[in-house]
């Protein structure tokens, strides 16, 4: 047997990077693709309007939209109200199918156009949870995704008190993270890759490893939370490469695309824990005092965070409109 073959055999017996990562971080699939979820066996799964829209364009998932439309076409609603009703049922249908695969939770997103409407976000979250309940899904298995605006976090604060757990998304700054923790939000999703994209474009240079601005942002938030004993879970999201994931090994959760999950599953290089609550407890961190005026100023003063939050809301809203057009075409 050649030395090369022997080394390959040795590598196969070592745990993959994905298996190593699962030892100290909850791995979440960032997809609406059921087959990918089955392949990588994550604990939870997250969806968003972009992922659901993409899924409905695939032949193997088109039947979900067809079934929802057929079921709701005689609901007695018409016009925009009928489309909204079908959209809600479609999101929940995808969520329920995902929950048949993952043992944990699924994140379902509210309408991004409600990002500055606290009451509208609360109403939409209650509607989605009610639809899940009618299909026999315990609310503990659902996270309602809301954008990390001042209004979005206020909505989440109300929902959390009602036992509706929230995932605050489009989060790019410590100010957003601190306000979420004070609101006792269940989970936040800081967007590593989009932070990296902004700094790469702004400074016309690449970043890798521990110097990556997206990685540094999540490290800062994680350290702050563990230092001051906040129970809100930190889930790094929106990764561009495996290096970013490895640098955040030890984070509470990481939501990862099928492409990067595949790369992690095929590599057997060692991974070491980078984020540790015990180390964070001893870190020198200054507590941030926040009220609405301070929150808005800090977010506005952070060009990256304010620009990426606004851009993310616009993109998710645009994909909701695309999905609504697809639904409307099915009703003709």
Q: Is 21 exposed, middle or buried (0-12, 13-18, 19+ CB in 10 A)?
A: buried
Cβ partners under 8 Å of residue 34, min gap 6: 61, 97, 98, 101
Rounded to 5°, the CA angle 137-52-307 comes to 110
214-220 mean pLDDT: 98
Question: What is the structure's pLDDT at 219?
Answer: 98
Mind giving me the DSSP string for 114-155? GTT-HHHHHHHHHHHHHHHHHTT--GGGEEEEEE-SHHHHHH
Portion of the chain with pLDDT greater than 70, in percent: 96
Q: Express each pLDDT in 268-318 by its tens digit.
A: 999 999 999 999 999 999 999 999 999 999 999 999 999 999 999 999 999
Instruction: Out of 40-54, 148-162, 230-244, 313-327, pick the least confident.
Output: 40-54
Hey, what are 273's tokens? 């824990």
Question: What is the structure's pLDDT at 246?
Answer: 98
Question: What is the structure's pLDDT at 2?
Answer: 56
pLDDT reading at 93 higher than 80: yes
Instruction: Out of 11-15, 213-217, 328-332, pick the least confident.
Output: 11-15
245-272 mean pLDDT: 97
Q: Are 251 and 235 in contact (CB under 8 A)?
A: yes
Q: Where are the beta strands (DSSP E) in 11-153?
A: 26-30, 44-46, 106-109, 142-147
> 15-323: CATH homologous superfamily?
Aldolase class I (3.20.20.70)
Catalytic site residues?
145
pLDDT reading at 4 higher than 90: no
Cα gap 157→180, rounded to integer Å:
8
What pairing do the DSSP bridges indicate for beta strands 142-147 and 166-171? parallel
> Which one-letter DSSP state was computed for residue 237?
B
What is the domain partition of the chain in residue ranges? 15-323
pLDDT reading at 1 higher than 60: no
pLDDT reading at 6 higher than 90: no
- The answer to whether the predicted template modeling score (pTM) of the entire model surpasses 0.85 is yes
């Amino acid at each position: 047997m050649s030395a090369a073959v022997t080394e390959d055999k040795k590598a196969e017996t070592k745990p993959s990077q994905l298996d190593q990562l699962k030892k100290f971080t909850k791995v979440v699939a960032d997809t609406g693709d059921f087959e990918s979820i089955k392949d990588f066996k994550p604990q939870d799964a997250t969806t968003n309007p972009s992922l659901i829209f993409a899924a409905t364009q695939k032949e193997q998932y088109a039947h979900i939209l067809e079934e929802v439309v057929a079921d709701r076409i005689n609901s007695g609603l018409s016009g925009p109200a009928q489309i909204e009703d079908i959209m809600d049922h479609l999101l929940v249908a995808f969520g329920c199918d995902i929950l048949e695969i993952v043992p944990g939770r699924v994140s379902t997103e509210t309408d991004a156009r409600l990002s500055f409407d606290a009451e509208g976000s609360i109403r939409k979250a209650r509607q989605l949870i009610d639809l899940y309940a009618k299909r026999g899904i315990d609310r503990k298995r659902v996270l309602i995704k809301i954008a990390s605006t001042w209004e979005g976090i206020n909505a989440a604060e109300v929902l959390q008190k009602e036992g509706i757990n929230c995932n605050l998304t489009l989060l790019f700054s410590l100010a957003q993270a601190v306000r979420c923790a004070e609101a006792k939000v269940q989970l936040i999703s800081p967007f590593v890759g989009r932070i990296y994209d902004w700094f790469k474009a702004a400074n016309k240079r690449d970043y890798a490893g521990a110097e990556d601005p997206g990685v540094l942002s999540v490290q800062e938030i994680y350290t702050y939370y563990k230092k001051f004993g906040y129970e809100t879970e930190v889930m790094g999201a929106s990764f561009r490469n495996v290096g970013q994931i490895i640098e955040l090994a030890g984070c509470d959760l990481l939501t990862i695309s099928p492409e990067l999950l595949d790369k992690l599953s095929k590599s057997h290089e060692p991974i070491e824990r980078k984020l540790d609550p015990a180390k964070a407890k001893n870190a020198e961190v200054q507590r941030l005092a926040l009220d609405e005026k301070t929150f808005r100023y800090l977010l506005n003063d952070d060009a990256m965070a304010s620009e990426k939050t606004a851009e993310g809301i616009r993109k998710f809203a645009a994909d909701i409109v695309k999905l609504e057009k697809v639904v409307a075409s099915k009703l003709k």
